[in-house]
Structure 1
């Protein structure tokens, strides 16, 4: 990620995390009937270390990475590291800072299980930060253990987030990459794209710090694109994605799709040249290398390649 120090970043680096949370909450609650405007205001703020997830990232309704198992483990994490009094304080903080009504019984007792299992994922991710802040009141060691536990849950359950040293939750790469990857996964929801979906999910798991590999990311995205390509062209005798199969089988599909457009041939040719260039650039990382060589891709190069590959993946899925 580029470290661009904008005027907004300079301003927000001089105020506390609590003030950022409160300022953002005010922006969200004081614009009734103007929800779109309030979303734009919050998106203009740069991510702040230690701030709540929903304050750093308010996005369009693209599904975020989620997991029922992770939610269950976070419920246990919540009860393990917060005393009953701190759990009551958590309820207050959720309602004060997140602006939602905490689930309760008719008698007014907090239903913590309902929150962790059923609340929106943005609120759950913000809840992790609130738990970690409250955990400190039981001692620094308790907070450190809670911090390590939360990080382990996110990593082991394959969620594409990270927790910073100031206790804030962020996208593992950045918001735009998360938007692209989650949208690409959502587009592979049809059963015929199951192999492509599995390959893409496995590829993205190699962004996690514990198993980070640029080569594996590129290779997995290539596998997902190749699988979707073979499904889209529906040619039983073709089993590889290469320049020849693109020209012979995908290009005719696109020419038929754009038949009514002026200069369709030129537009399709240019698009396919970009696609073939991406295939060519990713191809070396699909193979091994001599033992004396380190055949690994720099992570920033891998993210660039994966971003391009997922764009082609979405395009191919829509091709038939």
Structure 2
């Protein structure tokens, strides 16, 4: 894994161009003041991933936190868990599918995967009951950040569509 300098001379781990593109395009989606807390947690995730030494545990926890904050903005819940994904977020996405049964089936399957992602991340969000903290590997952190960023972008679009439909 290499490094690159951003336009402000910040040093970042270079996973690949797609990883960086997803980070930057998601930051653009987070410009609305409604998403200030989401953006802060999102930036924190990548900041800890870029730190020396890398703090993959905080990076993974922070991408989860970004998604949890957005979930709290979108739905009446106090936490992001499998139930919130299936019972609060998925119905919002399904509403946007209208009567397109193919889209509805695909969205349902994607949200089943998101619910499993949420459950998997909980292993790193909570203490493991060991004397030494267990941090995810760099490869796991890259996947968690990449997939979490993808879910975040999709939920931001769903939220934006819901807000626009309500106005």
Higher relative contact order (CA 8 A, sep 6+): 2
Q: Is contact 1:172–1:208 with CA below 8 Å preserved after alignment?
A: no
2:128 aligned with 1:289: yes
- Structure-2-length-normalised TM-score: 0.84
Matches of 2:129 and 2:113 in 1, distance apart?
A: 30
Aligned to 1:26: none
Residue 21 (structure 2) aligned to one of 179, 202, 224: 179
RMSD of aligned residue pairs (Cα, Å): 2.3
Relative to 1, partners in 2 of residues 1:231 and 1:66: Cα closer, same or farther, differing over 3 Å? farther
Aligned to 2:91: 252
Aligned to 1:127: none
Residue 298 (structure 1) aligned to one of 129, 133, 137: 137
Aligned to 2:116: 277
Residue 203 (structure 1) aligned to one of 45, 48, 52: 45
Matches of 1:66 and 1:289 in 2, distance apart?
A: 39
Aligned to 1:16: none
**Cα distance, 1:271 vs structure 2:** 1.1
Q: Is there any run of 5+ residues in structure 2 with no aligned partner, and where?
A: 163-167
**Cα distance, 1:312 vs structure 2:** 0.1
Aligned to 1:229: 71
Matches of 1:269 and 1:187 in 2, distance apart?
A: 24
Q: Is there any run of 5+ residues in structure 1 with no aligned partner, and where?
A: 2-46, 54-63, 68-153, 162-170
Q: Is contact 1:195–1:227 with CA below 8 Å preserved after alignment?
A: yes
In our comparison, the structure showing a higher alpha carbon Rg is 1
| Structure with more helix by fraction | 2
Deviates most, 261-270 or 189-198:
261-270
- Structure-1-length-normalised TM-score: 0.46
